[in-house]
Amino acid sequence: MERHQRVRFYQVGSHVVGNRLLDPEQRTVQARMDRSNTLTCGHRACRGCGEALGARYVLDAAKRAADGKLIAANATGCLEVFSTPFPETSWQLPWIHSLFGNAPAVASGVAAALRAKGRDDIRVVGQGGDGGTVDIGFGCLSGMFERNDDVLFVCYDNEAYMNTGVQRSGATPPAARTANTKPIGEHLGNRFGQGKDLPRIAMAHGIPYVATATVAEPHDLERKVETAMAIHGARYLHVFVPCPLGWGSEAHDTIKLARLVKETGLFPVFEAVEGEVVGVSRIRRRTPVEEYLKLQRRYAHLFGDPGHPEIVARLQAGADRNIREFHLLDPAGEEVAW
């Protein structure tokens, strides 16, 4: 059988790589001179913070889609803390922080007020970290979904309660070290459990749109924000954001880690409409989980002499399962060349 070498140009399918040479219409919002800088500079995020990146990408795209008329409700957490060190703020949009567990409800309240006032031109985003979304905000999030309130809720998932010192959350992956899941005793790192798959839980609510994304692929992320903003009703976006401090990774590896988590299959990147998956972002070059894990000291206990290859194997099995269930590999083959 003849093997076709298909040259796929990543993300935009053009013959050009690099924003400056792209057709302006193909550029990301981030590449534009007129981007709104909704989360502007001067905030106190760590070097290499994936959440700051994610928030900037999401909100600039959302604000553009909303013609500048966007209101944000933010849960307590890193994003809220580093962006609003009193008396300064980095937010260039109307923004409210109420409590840790109520961001979805506050967003619903803002949306209700706008509806009562006939201002359907102003759109609402709710946002928070994995702790505020998957754990303490879960009830309010589910209520917002069930009512189909016109809110886009965005979870920036760095897989632990970072702002309080890296404690595990319902989103912490198995085997990961956190301040209260250390590699001591019977369980090395976080226990293996069922996990708490918020994107699938969101899908189970039957809401109009659910998508996952990472900060490694701004085109994909922005497109999903645009798609979401064109819909009215409850929408959920789950964005994978590395945390150098919490994960013990290098600041310059943030984008790389976001790419690897997708390429290993550990984090499926997909879209769903009304509870059905309608598209996946396929793995370009399948990567063993080790390559991803080794870059983070939160997994250091799995390596070395003798290390725990059996745990790595379990993590690999998890990734393999995702690849199967979401069909993350291109049917034409595993290896895809540039």
Partner 1 sequence: MLRQIEGSAAVAETVARCRPEVVCAYPISPQTHIVEGLSDLVRAGDLSPCEYMTVESEFAALSVCIGAAAAGARAYTATASQGLLYMAEALYNASGLGLPIVMTVANRALGSPINIWNDHSDSMSQRDCGWLQLYAEDNQEAADLHVQAFRIAEELSLPVMVCMDGFILTHAVERVDVPEAGPVDAFLPPFEPRQLLDPAEPMTIGAMVGPEAFAEVKYLAHAKQLQALDTIPAVAAEFEQSFGRSSGGLVRGYRLEDAETVVVALGSVLGTIEETIDAMREEEGMPIGALAIKTFRPFPMEAVRAALQGAKRVVVLEKALAVGRGGIVSADVRMALSGIELDGHTVIAGLGGRPITGASLRRLFGDAVAGRLGPLTFLDLNWELIEAELGRMGEGGRSGPHAENILREVGVVAGGSH
In 3-state terms, what secondary structure has residue 80? helix
21 binds partner 1 (CB under 8 A): no
Judged by CB under 8 A, the residue of 112, 231, 280, 329 near partner 1 is 112
Indicate which single residue of 99, 277, 280, 295 sits in contact with partner 1 (rule: CB under 8 A). Answer: 99
Of 111 and 328, which CB lies nearer to partner 1 in the complex structure? 111
Tokens representing 22 are 């792209």
The CB-of-46 to partner 1 minimum distance in angstroms stands at: 17
Helix (H) or strand (E) holding 58: helix 50-65
Taking residue 264's Cβ as centre, other Cβ atoms within 10 Å add up to: 25
Shortest Cβ 318–partner 1 spacing (Å): 31
| Residue 3: CA count within 13 A, CB half-sphere | 6
- For residues 69-98, which are near partner 1 according to CB under 8 A? 69-71, 73-74, 80-81, 84-87, 89, 91-98
What are the Cα distances from residue 187, in Å, to 182, 184, 292, 304? 8, 7, 21, 18
- Closest CB to partner 1 among 68 and 309? 68
**CB nearer partner 1, residue 108 or residue 281:** 108
State CA 337 to chain mean position distance: 26
Q: Which stretch binds partner 1 (CB under 8 A): 1-9, 112-120, 181-189, 289-297?
A: 112-120
280 touching partner 1, by CB under 8 A:
no
Burial 79-117 (b: 16+ CB within 10 A, else e): bbbbbbeeeeebbebebebbebbbbbbbbbbbbeebeee
CB contact at 8 A, 76 and 132:
yes
Q: Does 11 bind partner 1 (CB under 8 A)?
A: no
Count of residues of this chain found to bind partner 1 when the rule CB under 8 A is applied: 45
- Say whether residue 35 binds partner 1 (CB under 8 A): no
Binding of partner 1 at residue 115 (CB under 8 A)? Answer: yes
CB of 213: closest distance to partner 1 in angstroms? 25
Interface characters, 132-171, with partner 1 (x: CB under 8 A): -------xx-xx--xx------------------------
DSSP code per residue over 91-155: B-S-EEE--SS-HHHHHHHHHHHHHHTT-TTSEEEEEEEHIIIIITTHHHHHHHHHHT-S-EEEE
Cα 39 from Cα 20, distance rounded (Å): 23
Rounded to an integer, what distance in angstroms lies between the CA atom of residue 231 and that of residue 221? 16
Identify which range of 102-110, 218-226, 230-238, 308-316 contacts partner 1 by CB under 8 A.
102-110
Residues contributing to the site for partner 1 (CB under 8 A) = 68-71, 73-74, 80-81, 84-87, 89, 91-99, 101-102, 105-118, 122, 139-140, 142-143, 146-147
